[in-house]
Amino acid sequence: MEWGDQSEEEPREPNQAGGMGTLWSQEISPEERLPVEGSRPWAVARRVLTAILLLGLLLCSSVLLFYIFRNCGPRPCETSVCLDLRDHYLASGNTSVAPCTDFFSFACGRAKGTNNSFQELAKRNKNRLRRILEAQNSRHPGSGEEKAFQFYNSCMDTHAIEAAGAGPLRQVIEELGGWRISGNWTSLNFNRTLRLLMSQYGHFPFFRAYLGPHPAFPHTPVIQIDQPEFDVPLKQDQEQKIYAQIYREYLTYLSRLGTLLGGDPNKVQQHASLSISITSQLFQFLRPLEQRQAQGKVFQMVTIDQLKEMAPAVDWLSCLQATFTPMSLSPSQLLMVHDLEYLKNMSQLVEDLLLKDRDFLQSHMILGLVGTLSPALDSRFQEARRKLSQKLRELTEQSPMPARPRWMKCVEETSTFFQPTLAALFVHEAFGPSTRSAAMELFTVIRDTLITRLRKLPWMNKETQNMAQDKVAQLRVEMGASEWTLKPELAQQEYSDIQLGPSFLQSVLSCVRSLRARIVQSFLRPFPPHRWQVSPWEVSAYYSTSDHVVVFPAGLLQPPFFHPGYPRAVNFGAAGSIMAHELLHIFYQLLLPGGCLGCDTHALQEALLCLERHYAAFPLPRGSSFNDSLTLLENAADAGGLAIALQAYNKRLLWHHGETVLPSLDLTPQQIFFRSYAQVMCREPSPQDSHDTHSPPQLRVHGPLSSTPAFARHFRCPPGALLNPSSRCQLW
């Protein structure tokens, strides 16, 4: 039957085919063909229509979600700075290494050795200085800029230096009274010659004298008398065979210098041999720092008069007055002496030599000056120095130093003597306002994250937590360069006391005197600001305890560690972890025995012991160690710095969307964060430097990463892998 209403006015008649049916004399309307609501066919149709509608909504939602994720998820950063960083990561890393087993090699172990991120960055900064110095810009006559450019060009003019030969140095020797091995000489006036060497040539043959902060009053300068820096790599426990070989090589070098200056070879060798003997005797007088620490005599405060009584060979007042002009010194002036016993023995040796070997003592003093000035002389002197360095490194089992291009030496010399001028030029080009603003923003987030974490440290009581938070809040930060460096007039500063020419050596000596005078003047300022320990183009951050200031030079906040256009993961992982590490230096004293009276000593020591055991579980390169207490503190700062930077990064992602990634690396933002952290530590593994309190680079990567559960999670490290241990430590 057909679907429709039954009309009461239409009679039903028998179907001619023998069945009941309805005979229509007019056409049925479309409305009459619709099914009746509630009937079974309509219910089926409704379910079909609903299913089609839901399917359509689902498809539309999928398209919409795909569009949202495509536009709100991490997008590849394809700017030139990001592509350069991508290429750098590809070139410096080794992705064939399993990241959960050896992340240091994964990030740093390129096919041909290990890259050194800090060395490469330092070289790029010097290249930038080179471009500045070689730019053909007009300079104001007589300005600091013009003199800096003239000095650099004079250093690069090797034709003029070769043409001058040894002439400029012979003139210097004549001013000192000459010497017996060549030409005319006058009998040695020891203190006159010593005074000239110290004040006019910056050479200290028997001890070092320099201005430094007073140990009890950091902003008060004090003249410090320290052990000399010997040109020969001697050691207290040196084997006799090695010592003999070093003696021969150094004798050959000094003889070569004397011959280049016109001396008779036989006479030169005799004087050179006595000079080495004097150096050897002086070296035997030295007392190692460890011995002086054990005796409680790291330094002693004495007056000039008292030092004159104990070491009478030196006219201390006249020598120091000439060296530190315009300071006004008197016999009652206090000095900070680092090794008084050495000075007593040195004085006795000088007195003996003045009685028996006066001419040899004069030659010893002049030969030392010749060695100091040799970089400013022609290629014959520099080649003699290069051969000596090569031989000495072979004897002491050090890898040979790669040859450095001339421009690099000249950049370093120019930046030493014209630091204020070059600092302003470098910062203007490499650390503009937008970069500085981005760096300060990053530091603020890192600092605030540290303050938050301090509130939750279980080994600090509430009072200590509040004091620690106040300490961080009161910290000063100097970003890029010191404030005085950024003053425009410094770039135009005149160096009226510098006289350039007629030879490059004379230019160097004039710059040496000017630099020393500026240093003295800076110490004599009534309320000096914090004196930077690094230049703005250097790559070392530090925290100053005495001034309670943390310093991040512009040279450090450069690619590959920082750039405003980088993904946030890169800036937080690299520069952010460096910033957090330096902030934790504020609290080193708290971690030392008895350093935190308001701490749960047991909980603190347990955390430190756990950290020490955790690091001890990693294999170390040959010849390295980390048992020193300062190394443990640095390990704590590494691990804490990474944790703080990671928390700050995650917090930043909640506030700001639109994170980017580096194209073609197949790394998530979190993986890029850890990759950039490891990039900071990349350098060639080598035996630990005696002055370096940090762990070897592999440990500085693996120790903190293995203490971070998020690393194992984001790199899907299986349980028990080297960087996914069963237990972890947390100090900060």
Task: Report how far residue 99's alpha carbon sits from residue 677's, in angstroms, rounded to the nearest whole number.
Answer: 13
Of the residues 226, 378, 634, 638, only one is catalytic, namely 638
Give the tokens for residue 467.
């004091």
Q: Which residue has the tokens 């120790």?
A: 703
CA dihedral 267, 269, 275, 278 (to 10 degrees): -100
Give the tokens for residue 65.
């979600």
Q: What's the one-letter identity of residue 331?
A: P
In SS3 terms, 633-679 reads as HHHHHHHHHHHHHHHHHHHHHHHCCCCEECCCCCCCHHHHHHHHHHH
Give the tokens for residue 659.
């994170």
Neighbours of 407 (CB within 10 A): 17
Helices and strands per DSSP (H, E), number in the chain: 30, 11
582 is catalytic: yes
Give the tokens for residue 46.
């409704």
Of the residues 582, 634, 659, 684, only one is catalytic, namely 582
Q: Phi then psi for 418, rounded to 5 degrees? A: -120, 40
Task: Report how far residue 412's alpha carbon sits from residue 417's, in angstroms, rounded to the nearest whole number.
Answer: 9
Q: Please report the sign of the dihedral spanned by the C-alpha atoms of residue 423, residue 425, residue 431, residue 432.
A: positive
Whether the bond between 685 and the residue before it is cis, its omega within 30 degrees of 0, is no
- Cα-based distances in Å from 581 to 173, 548, 631: 50, 15, 13
Asked whether the beta carbons of 198 and 362 are under 8 A apart, the reply is no
Opening angle at CA 210, ends 206 and 215, nearest 5: 120
Q: Phi then psi for 224, rounded to 5 degrees? A: -110, 135
- Cα-based distances in Å from 97 to 104, 106, 301: 9, 5, 56
Asked whether the beta carbons of 540 and 468 are under 8 A apart, the reply is no
Task: Report how far residue 610's alpha carbon sits from residue 632's, in angstroms, rounded to the nearest whole number.
Answer: 11
Looking at 23-115, list the stretches that DSSP marks H as alpha helix, in order from N- to C-terminal side. Answer: 40-72, 80-92, 103-108
Burial degree of 368 (CB within 10 A; 0-12, 13-18, 19+): buried
Q: Is 527 helix (H, G, I), strand (E, B) or coil?
A: coil
Task: Report how far residue 674's alpha carbon sits from residue 701's, in angstroms, rounded to the nearest whole number.
Answer: 9
Q: Which of 587, 548, 372 is nearest to 467 (CA)?
A: 587
Looking at 568-628, list the stretches that DSSP marks H as alpha helix, in order from N- to C-terminal side. Answer: 568-571, 577-584, 588-591, 601-616
Give the tokens for residue 728.
């972890």
Active site residues per annotation? 582, 638
